[in-house]
Structure formats: structure tokens, C-alpha cells
Chain A
């Protein structure tokens, strides 16, 4: 059991390596970045249909709260999913039936499927928040390319966070089931 907790601890460390960025981003979005901040400018230039908004007489920063609130909710949901999947795999790896040398490699398929489900859930979360018929009106302000950027960046980022987490959190005897995890030093 102690090994399970150790795995969870390592997994959390793996998450923290880049996860702090998402926590910081979510916090900033909740508070609301300033009108001249780089985040607001980036959203105005790349994510939002600013010219159409300007045609209505508004600048993006004036109505950015709803957009940032929506993205913060989306990131929170993705972060939660990432934490959940990382911990579940890391803890669950201890219960894999690996009773012979080389058997861990068979569980690579399981890991791929598990990871695929995780990525699909990330995608569903982003679709739920950013689609046209999103429960958030702010989604209507986004241009198609802006939506794609947000989906792509968040998928890459949270996948990386998850990968780092399972890389260091997977049970030592099951490392062969995770891509490149067997390259880690044996004493880790």
C-alpha cells in the first residue's frame, strides 16, 4: 500500500512540473487580466472575432470577463480530468497482473487505450465549452481558428502534464507499459 501512495506522490510531482502554469492561468482568468495584459491582447488578436465585436462598438477587454470565466472553467475541468487520470493510472499500475519478466510490455496496450480515453475526454470537455451551442454565451465571440488553437494547445498541454505524471508515477515493475518509462533510472 505504501508503494501505491508513493506512486501517487510521484504522480503529483510529475503533475506539478508543468501543472503550476495551468493553476496560475486559471487564477489569473478568475481574477480577470488587465486590458493591456499580454493574455487579453493575445485573446483579442488570436482567439476572439475582435473586428466583429468592434463593429458592435465594443473592445474585447470591455467584455472579456465572460470569456476568461469560460476558459477558466474549461481549464479547471481539464485539470481535474488530468489529475484524476494520472492518479488512477499511477495507483492502478500497482494492481496490474505482472507475474513474469516481459509481461509489463503487454500492458502497453492498456495504457494506450487508457490514454486514448483520457485524450477523448479532454476533447469532449473542450468541445462542450467551446462549441457554438455552448452553455457559455462567450463561446460565440470566438473565431473558428481561435477555437482550434485553444483545443490544440490545451490538448497538448494537459497530455504532457498527464504523461509526465504517469512517467514518474507508474509502478516500477509496470514501467514498460508506459512509453519510454523504462528509460528512467532504476532507483527512481
Chain B
């Protein structure tokens, strides 16, 4: 009996020692971890700046303030509350009208914006501010003073000539500068009742036509500033005005930094990112130095695991997101599995896993490239140390698709108008969003979004 107890004790000690060995962490010497902050996090300083509100004074806007019987006038309601929403975001609010020029509006006269007279002009047409809509003017001001928050209310009805050559540059140059400074551009499209005339609809033979039968038409609130201010304005509008299920609105966030956060920084990565990994033999998950998550386990050759990141954890809500991710991978292996004898050798594999993204987020098919390529192989009985950096490579174009249904091209505008639409579309809207996305592409910087390690023994 004594012998049996002694033997059992020895076996228990041996088993516990083996477990300790398997859980030990030993990284290759050449491993270097570089977790950086995302630019979106860097740029929010929490201070309240001034808010500058610009109202499009062009004549096409007049239809928004005239009620359309039986339809909800979201324009008047929103403009009414804009003053309070702006004050939530900034310390002081300054109002302006823009058309041919920018004209300041005193706070006391802000109520005029929701009156038809605000968009009318009794003088000579050349002297009036309601004949054109130079949207580039508020952008220029935003470029000169990027600390403020800019709210532009407009129908975004931009002609072809405003979207080419020098005029386009006047639009894109300040936007590029704004985005480079870490600011973002939020576009809130709101479908409202409309009772007026849509002017300057291009026709195929040249020239333009007007349309008076539209009962609904979208207008846009463009917000330039910090992402958190944009989101605050958007959520204020949602809470106060877009409460009915029939309320139609769209949101896009154009930003050079659509990445919400580096997942390592806030320890967002957990064992749940690799489904069922916790069922693997000898599984252990931990953070090394509070930033580097490590999955340790034993696995067989039929290793078919996916690393998933939810879109909400990664992408700024409403932004165009990321269209392409890349991986920077390193794989070390050692024929000795115990840390004391470990002999890490860096493999020559340049591409180990694959990465795909969809509406739900991004997915890494771990070791997919190795198992798909016959010349590459992992061997049994060895310990592997797989280190991967996930980078956001290219910004996405999700907002283009979202706004497409409200957009009409110049070449289709005449035909669309002749179909007597009740709900009128915005001229060249997709083009404008595309231009904004292109500007954000130029300012987008490759961003490290996640880093993790898999330390595993390949067993039978």
C-alpha cells in the first residue's frame, strides 16, 4: 500500500511538472512588439471649441421651409434645434449664410432661416446671394481654423462644373488639409418634405431646367470637426428628430482614421476572438506586458481556426470603414518544446494566414496559406510561435453605397425629372461622396489594428 501511495505521489509530481512546462512562455529573442495609438484616439482632446454654422441660402433651399400638406417637415424642426445642438458641442456658436459669399447672421436673427424670405432676394440677380451655392467657402474657413466645429446645412446640389478642375480643387484641397489634421467630415442626409422649385437641373442639350412637383427631397448637414463632436450631433438628431420609423436619414463619416482603436491597447482581444480555441488541449490565454495577447495550446494537424474581430470593436460607426487589411507575420519553430532547450528558428514563410473582411468585421483564416500550398508544411512534434500584426491598409467605400439611392447623375437628371418623381434625388451625390472618399484615401495612413501571438505544439 505504501509503495502504491509513493508511486502515485511521484506520478502526480511528474504530471504537475509537465503542466508547468507546457504553460511556460518563451518568446524568440528577435521578437519586437510595437503597439501604436490610432490617430483617431490622438486627436480627441476633449476641449470645447467654437461652432460655426453655415446655411445654404440658394433658392433651391426655399422648398424645405414651405410645409407640404401631410408630410413631416424635418428641415424646419432640425434647424429650430440646431442652435441648442451646436451649443452642446461648442462654447460659442456663430451663424452664417452662404451662397455667392458668406454672410454672418446674428444669433437673434437665426429664426429667419426657417422663413421663405431668407432665401428670397428682391435686388438684381447678380447682387443676390441665392443664385449659387459655393460650398467650398465654408470648407476654406474650416481649413484656416481647424480647431472649430463646422456645421453646413445644404441641399448638396452640385453641378458638374463644380466637380471638375480648379473648382474641384477648391473643394478637395481644404478637405485634405482638414482630414490631415485629424478632423473628420460627417454627412447626415435627411429626407424632408419639400414644397418649392428645384433649380438648375442639367439637361442633355446643355442648359438647365426646373422642377416643381417634388414633395420630398433630401438635405444634408455636413459636420466638420472631431469625430466625437460629429457623433454627438448625429446622436442628438437621432434622439430628437429621427424617432419615427418612417424617418429617412443616412449617415457617413469621412475620416482619415476610420479605425476606432488599437485592440491591444485596450485589451479587447480575448479567447473569444478564436472560436472554440478554449477547448484545445492545454489552452491558456494571457496578456504579456499588458499589451500582447498570447494563445497557448496544443493542436493537431487539422488546425482549422479563424481569428475574428467584430466591426464594432474596430471601425468608427458610420465611417466608410476599411476595404483592405494586410498582415505582417512571423513564424518561429523549435524541435525542442521546453523553454530550457528551446531553439527558435524564424521561418521563411512570408504569407501564412489570409485575411478577409465583410460587413461583420474581419476574419483571419489562420495558417490557410500554408495548408493550401503544397510546398509549405508544419511538422509534427515541433513548437511554433506565430506572431501577427494586422494592419488596416485601405479605407472603404461603404458610404457610397449607402447614399447611392438618393443620387442622380447629370446625364440621368433630365430623364429622372421627366418621370415626375415625388421624391427628388440629389444631383451628383455619389460623385461627391466618391470625391470625399478619395480625399480620405490620400490622407489615410496604414494603421496597426491588432497584434497577437499563437504559441502551440503540433501534436498528432
- Tell me the A residues contacting B by CB distance below 8 Å: 49, 51-58, 62-63, 66, 133, 137-138, 140-141
Contacts and interface: CB of A to CB of B under 8 A. Distances in A.
B375 A51 contact: yes
Nearest to B370: A55
A55 B379 contact: no
A170 to B, nearest CB: 43
Contact of A56 (B345, B380, B381, B460): B345
Contacts of B346: 57
Contacts of B380: 137, 140
A55 B348 contact: yes
B376 A55 contact: yes
Nearest to A53: B379
B379 A141 contact: yes
B88 to A, nearest CB: 59
B379 A57 contact: no
Given A63-B335, A137-B380, A138-B381, A54 B375 contact: no
Interface string B379-405: 111100000000000000000000000
Contacts of A53: 379
A176 to B, nearest CB: 49
A150 to B, nearest CB: 18
Interface string B346-388: 1111000000000000000000000000011111111000000
B133 interface: no
Contacts of A140: 379-381
A125 to B, nearest CB: 19
B407 interface: no
Interface string B315-348: 0000000000000000111010000000001111
Interface size class of B (residues with CB under 8 A): 10 to 19
B348 A54 contact: yes
B375 A57 contact: no
Contacts of B347: 55-57
B387 to A, nearest CB: 14
B335 A58 contact: yes
Given A52-B375, A52-B377, A133-B460, 17 more contacts: A52-B379, A53-B379, A54-B348, A55-B348, A55-B375, A55-B376, A56-B333, A56-B348, A56-B349, A56-B378, A56-B382, A57-B333, A63-B335, A66-B381, A137-B380, A137-B460, A138-B381
Contacts of A54: 348
Interface in B185-204: none
B11 to A, nearest CB: 22
22 contacts: A52-B376, A52-B377, A54-B348, A55-B348, A55-B349, A56-B331, A56-B345, A56-B348, A56-B349, A56-B378, A56-B382, A57-B333, A57-B345, A57-B346, A58-B333, A58-B335, A62-B335, A63-B335, A137-B380, A137-B460, A140-B379, A140-B380
A57 B377 contact: no
A134 to B, nearest CB: 9
Contacts of B349: 55-56
B348 A57 contact: yes
Given A54-B348, A56-B333, A63-B335, A137 B381 contact: yes
Nearest to A63: B335
Given A56-B333, A57-B333, A137 B379 contact: yes
Name the 7 nearest CB pairs between A and B, nearest first: A137-B381, A57-B345, A140-B380, A137-B380, A52-B377, A63-B335, A56-B347
A93 B333 CA distance: 55
B379 A56 contact: yes
Residue in B335, B345, B349 with the greatest tally of chain A CB atoms within 10 Å:
B335
